[in-house]
Structure 1
Amino acid sequence: MKKTISLSVFAVASALVLSASAMAGDAANGEKIFKKKCKTCHVVEAGKKPKATGPNLAGFLTRPSGTSDYKHSKKLAAAAITWNEETLDQWLQNPRKMVKGSRMSFKLKKEKDRQDVIAYLMTIGS
């Protein structure tokens, strides 16, 4: 009986891991989308000066929102968002809905595109 329970728990856990992996975005495709739609305003290379229209995203996962060397809106800095998959998805759906007064107006409407870009952003590090 113990072996049956152990195998059942293992099977359920494996299924959950597989379904979570299946929901994850494609970082390679996310990089392509980023270069096509986001690179106009953002850079991702550590130490590179941010563009006038958007901050450098290198290391953004390790700092609260609005705290880079870019001139962020006061409301974004005050929001002190901790960036993760969930907050990035919400942000990319509609930044100005998430933080009224945000300077970013661009939206990624397709869920697949958002998930892919988020997967890519999670790889850029600091």
Structure 2
Amino acid sequence: MTKKILCATDGTSHSQHAVELAATLASTLAVPLVICTVNVGRGGARGPLIFSLEESEVKRILDSAAAVAKAANVKTVEEVSLKAREAASAIVHYAEENGCDHIITGTGDKHGVSRLVLGSVAADVASRAHCTVTVAR
């Protein structure tokens, strides 16, 4: 039985499907919803660690997703900004450490060579997670 849902979003149209599904499910089950985004850091070995998003963009992504959840009548909505070098491991680690037993994430249109080169956060989350993972399309 689902007791707490974690929805990972990056603010793209693909992740919007995940936010909407997570909000509907959390409302229907009357469980808390944690919305997170991962600000991925690059560099750092000999130079500064540079994050891919400005803090204002992180806030916009989280606030937008939280508004969807509140409109769906989710009673408890938490917004979490994670900073990490690798998004999937940050999402799974947060879920494990914070009692989330269902992760919902979106996926893009990666096919062929771009999938092999870029990988997929959703696939990595699904393969590493300790709990149920729903990939929304």
Instruction: Quickly name the TM-score band, shorter chain normalised.
Output: under 0.3
TM-score, structure 2 as length reference? 0.26
TM-score, structure 1 as length reference? 0.28
**Which has the larger share of helix?**
1
Larger radius of gyration: 1
